Amino acid sequence: MTYILALAGDPAAWAALVTLIAMEVVLGIDNLIFIAILTNKLPEQHRAKARRLGLGAALGLRLVLLATVAAIVQLTEPVFSVFGRGFSWRDAILIAGGLFLVWKATKEIHHNVDPDPGPDMFDSGRAALGLSAAVGQILVLDLVFSIDSIVTAVGMTEHIPIMVAAVLVAVAAMALAAGPLANFINANPTVVMLALGFLMMIGTALIAEGFGAAIPKGYIYAAMAFSALVEGLNMLARRARRRREKSA
């Protein structure tokens, strides 16, 4: 208790908390986009449940990882080498997660552009299987994003209570944004392709980071923000065109 009170009275601790919350919220955007796209593939009655399960798993994984933060730090130590380059378990997890994201985004893009895509793995006639498959895939990516999130947190502060508080606030923000984001993506089909492009870019960045060629996060999020701005302008232009056509 004395330790918590000492942190509460330390301006540096508050500065670290605010900075870490901002970082965790930004890092959570990747996770949130994936959850929104995947749950929108489910029948409507299962979407909210899948989002709750996905975000609950994200929170649980982050808290479990924080409880074993010493082990998480060790995940950055090389455990095997390929062609003279050492790879840690974190590298392997990032590469696997990045490959999964690229595969999933490519598969979904193909399903959207193919005039005869065939049966979807989330066919509404198999709701139970679709729900379990969606939650399973969310859990896989939750693990990847959670490890990345906690490693980032460990690099910014050594105080576990600050990390826990930042994770709780970030996941709460994700929970508030999950429904509106999913509904917005569902109501605007062109945004789906943009979001899938984001996932492919994020997956590529994870693979690059796993191989030691880290791409600054600022570049990635700046590109995402610019693309979202352009798509927003396109949406406004389409609405203005529809209004002119109706009034003509």
Q: CA-to-CA distance for 10 and 40, rounded, in angstroms?
A: 44
One-letter amino acid for residue 152 of the chain: T
Inform me whether the pLDDT recorded for 123 exceeds 60: no
State mean pLDDT over 69-84. Answer: 74
Length of the chain equals 248
Structure tokens of 126? 């198999």
pLDDT class for 117, splitting at 50, 70, 90? low
* pLDDT above 90 coverage of the chain, percent: 0
pLDDT in tens, 32-52: 888 888 888 888 888 888 888
pLDDT class for 180, splitting at 50, 70, 90? confident
Q: Which residues contact 92 (CB under 8 A, 6 or more apart)?
A: 210
pLDDT in tens, 54-71: 888 888 888 887 777 667
Pairwise pLDDT comparison (91 vs 69), residue with the higher score: 91
